[in-house]
Chain A
Amino acid sequence: MPQPSDSPLLQIEDLTKVFHTRQGFSSKQFHAVDGATLSLQADKPEIFTVAGESGSGKTTLARLILGLEQASTGTLSYKGRSIGALSSREKRAWYYKEVQPVFQDPFATFSPLKRIDHYLYETVYNYKITDRAGANAYIDGILNEVGLSLAEIKGRYPGELSGGQAQRVSIARALITHPSLIVADEPVSMLDASLRMSIVNMFRKLKENQHVSVLYITHDLATAYYAADRIAVMLRGWIVEMGPVEQVLGDPKHPYTQNLKQSIPPINPDAVWNEKMDLAQLDSDAFAHVGCKYANRCPHVMEKCRTHEPPNILHEGRTVKCFLYE
């Protein structure tokens, strides 16, 4: 359970986002994020990972935090102020300066027809960080933090850069406003294996040197384990297990987290998979399910799992949403 802190950076309570889909006259509800509760502290920067399979609501959670979606219910507050109550002028002037995004595909982030340094200058001028004379030096300083220099990228188009370089520029752009929180949605999944670690290592460095918190959204548990301090595992809109990464991934308690961990291909040739696993046959509509959303796939399923929603239980230093630990 997130400890109530004197200085919360980001506080999310019971956040829910419902999408409505229509088919003819019938309308269906779809809980993309369902009762998410988490908080980040301002005085202790950390890398917080949100992990889960595709369709688990990770990206919707990120979009809610970035203010790109309106929450259906629940509260989302940043530095003590409710985000939903901010006027759009305040959002632009303050919130968007404090919280910056990094997206999945660096080549989709930047227009291929614009020079990439244009984005950096534009951000500097938009937020009036420095005057025009100081812009070059300022941008060069920011680029140095991500291991690039202005001379390297000035006048170049995104297509002339490698994926890793473009993603670094994307992160540099996010750093320009000196944010306290970076929301990174799958920042390494489009990158090559050799470049992945350089980005993840950079997040670790930024946390140490710049005191930036990072909300790192990924389906890759191995990099999550490597980089993160805390982790929240999402399943169909629920946070099913949340706590320090050593505990959650070192010794997972929720049956879903256990399944996830066992599914990471071990790199050690002495420890490759031998036993068989059963895969879900057809995806039933688990979003609309009563009771636990994992009940159909869970090896420890009990009668009440099919009828009641499991509570959040504090167990060995993490919260688990499972009846097994009552």
Chain B
Amino acid sequence: MTNIIEAVNLKAHYISSAYGVKRTVKAVDNISIQVKAGEIYGIAGESGCGKSTLLKVLLGAHRPPLTVVGGSVKYHFGARDLDVLTMDERTRSDIRWKDVSYIPQGSMHVLNPVRRIGSSFYDFISAHQPVSRRDSHDLARAYLSELGLPETVLTSYPHQLSGGMRQRVTIALATILWPKLIFADEPTTALDVVVQRGVIQLLKEIQQKEGSTLVVITHDMGVHANLVNRIAVLYAGKVVEEADTNTILKNPSHPYTQYLIKSLPRLDHRGERVSIPGRPPALDNVPKGCPFHPRCPFVMEKCKTVEPPVITVRAGHRVACHLVTGEVSHAATI
């Protein structure tokens, strides 16, 4: 399989200076990821670990004070190679929605409240291909029925729909031009479990129908378990572990990932669950060495000074921890 996104040593900082006080928030700190064409790639982590910032940079949608300090992001659409960080505005708006699409956070609030849903669909479609209002309506109707959504939403205003329905309409809107690459930022947060399941199902369906690539950000490991093929776990702006979903959930190597999985309450087991001690670091003052060392139960002297390198334990499983060396994938378990 070929890579559709290739990000190398990406560094993006929020740089602000007010009254001579410079502040640098390292939200994305030396991240390298590759997303394969046709897969569902998950990005996990707590709030404030740089998930959404990473997505902005991968989309090329960063604006000051967010500045890309180093590294590169490339898309490979078949024979076309695009450098996301240097491409001109023209190309950017050409590929937007047609090739690359984005389902924003809180997407039930992004619909224009004074326009009917059908008009929003027309706006989207007409911006990228010449269509008449009627054709766009037919296109939208066909697509909605394909996704199992009622056609009546086209004549409704956003406030007439429930939150879950608005979320699904936004997803339909973002994917109507069959983009090859879809980014979704917390697509199910703020929905209750029943609707959440419907949205996950919808995303899966869209991805399978067109064989598109989906990059999903969420802090909810349950969503990751049921949707994505591979997961990158972010902590303090760094990828601390990356592997397929099965490995991350059953056999995590990094102490942070282990804690993250162990702390999840489960319906099949009522025993005592651990919680991670301490709190996530502020990104303008990340601890030296391994960023997780103040909370880690296996902390060594080395962890406090030397940043652990990213090691490939075996094909497709990368970990950044001093405990993990090439031969031993499990130095310790919590």
Which A residues lie at the B interface, using CB under 8 A? 53-54, 162-165, 192-198, 200-201, 219, 221-223, 225-226, 246, 249, 259-269, 272-273, 276-277, 279, 281-283
| Contact between A269 and B165, CB atoms less than 8 A apart | no
Q: Closest Cβ of chain A: how far from B11's Cβ, in Å?
A: 24
- A-B complex: 6 closest residue pairs judged by Cβ atoms: A265-B222, A197-B275, A198-B275, A194-B276, A279-B198, A53-B192
Bound-state CA distance A197–B245 (Å) is 23
13 contacts between A and B (CB under 8 A): A54-B163, A54-B192, A194-B276, A197-B273, A219-B193, A226-B265, A261-B267, A265-B196, A267-B264, A277-B201, A279-B164, A281-B150, A283-B165
Chain A residues, CB < 8 A from B260:
193-194
Enumerate chain A residues within 8 angstroms of B209, measured Cβ to Cβ.
Answer: none
Report the bound CA distance from A222 to B47 in whole Å: 20
Q: In the complex, are the beta carbons of A222 and B225 less than 8 A apart?
A: no
Contact A273 B197 (CB under 8 A): yes
List of B residues within 8 angstroms of A194 by Cβ = 46, 259-260, 263, 275-276, 280
Distance between Cα atoms of A53 and B219 in the complex (Å):
20
In the complex, are the beta carbons of A276 and B201 less than 8 A apart? yes
CB-nearest residue of chain A to B247: A269
User: Is B299 interfacial (CB 8 A cutoff)?
Assistant: no
| Nearest CB of B to A274, in Å | 10
B250: min CB distance to chain A, Å: 6
Cβ of A260: which chain B residues have Cβ within 8 Å of it?
193-194
CA distance A50 to B274 in the complex (A): 24
With A273-B197, A282-B150: A201-B275 Cβ-Cβ less than 8 Å = yes
Whether B249 sits at the interface, judged by CB under 8 Å, is: yes
Contacts of A277 in B (CB 8 A): 197-198, 201
B217 interfacial contact with A, CB 8 Å: no
Partner of A197, one of B162, B163, B164, B265: B265
Q: A53-B192, A260-B194 are in contact. List 16 more A-B contacts (CB 8 A).
A: A53-B195, A192-B46, A194-B46, A196-B263, A197-B263, A198-B275, A198-B276, A201-B275, A219-B193, A259-B194, A266-B222, A267-B249, A272-B225, A282-B152, A282-B165, A283-B165
- Residues of A within 8 Å of B194, CB to CB, are 53, 259-260, 263, 279
Q: Which residue of B lies closest to A297 (CB)?
A: B194
A260–B192 CA distance with the chains assembled, in angstroms: 9
Is there contact, CB below 8 Å, between B219 and A225?
Answer: no
**In the complex, residue of chain A having the shortest beta-carbon distance to the beta carbon of B153:** A282
* Chain A proximity of B61: nearest CB distance (Å): 25
Contact bitstring B191-229, A, C-beta under 8 A = 1, else 0: 011111110110000000000000000011111011000
Nearest-neighbour CB distance to chain B for A122, whole angstroms, equals: 26
Q: How far is the CA of A46 from the CA of B263 in the complex (A)?
A: 22
CA distance A225 to B196 in the complex (A): 19
**Given known contacts A162-B279, A195-B279, A222-B264, A269 and B198 CB-to-CB distance under 8 angstroms:** no
Do B273 and A201 touch across chains, with their CB atoms under 8 A apart?
yes
- Provide the B175-205 mask, 1 if CB < 8 A to any CB of A, else 0: 0000000000000000011111110110000
Closest to B262 in A: A197
The answer on a CB contact under 8 Å between A226 and B273 is yes
B134 within 8 A of A: no
Residues of A contacting B80 in the complex (Cβ-Cβ under 8 angstroms) = none
Complex contacts, A267 vs chain B, CB 8 Å: 221-222, 225, 249, 261, 264, 266
- Tell me the complex Cα distance, A264–B194, Å: 8
B 77-89 binary contact with A (CB < 8 Å = 1; else 0) = 0000000000000
Q: Does chain A have a CB within 8 A of B22?
A: no
Q: Is the CB of A272 within 8 A of B226?
A: yes
Whole-angstrom CA separation of A283 from B200 in the bound complex: 19
Task: Answer whether residue B270 sits at the interface, using C-beta atoms and an 8 A cutoff.
Answer: yes
Residues of B39-82 at the interface with A, using a CB-CB cut-off of 8 Å, are 46-47
For the complex, what is the distance from the CA of A205 to the CA of B198, rounded to whole Å? 36
**Are B225 and A266 in contact, with the CB atoms below 8 A?**
yes
Residues in chain A near residue B2, CB distance under 8 A:
none
Interface string of B271-315 (1 = CB under 8 A from A): 011111001100000000000000000000000000000000000
Give chain B residues whose Cβ lies under 8 Å from the Cβ of A195: 275-276, 279
**Closest beta carbon of chain A to B77's beta carbon, Å:** 30
B112 part of interface (Cβ distance < 8 Å): no
Which of B164, B225, B259 interacts with A265 by CB under 8 Å?
B225
From A272, which residue of chain B is reached at the shortest CB distance?
B226
Q: How far is the CA of A276 from the CA of B267 in the complex (A)?
A: 21
Residue of B150, B220, B226, B265 near A225 (CB, 8 A) is: B265
Residues in chain B near residue A269, CB distance under 8 A: 225, 245-246, 249-250
A201 to B271, alpha carbons, bound, how many Å? 11
Would A164 and B264 count as touching, CB distance under 8 A? no
Q: Which of B162, B220, B246, B279 has the most CB of A within 10 A?
A: B279
**Residues of A contacting B46 with CB < 8 Å?**
192-194
| B residues less than 8 Å from A226 (CB atoms) | 265-266, 270, 273
- State the CA gap A162–B198 with chains docked (Å): 32
Min CB distance B238 to A, Å, is 16
B186 → A minimal CB distance (Å): 13
A267 to B265, CA, bound (A): 9
- Of B47, B193, B219, B276, chain A has the most CB atoms within 10 Å of the CB of B193
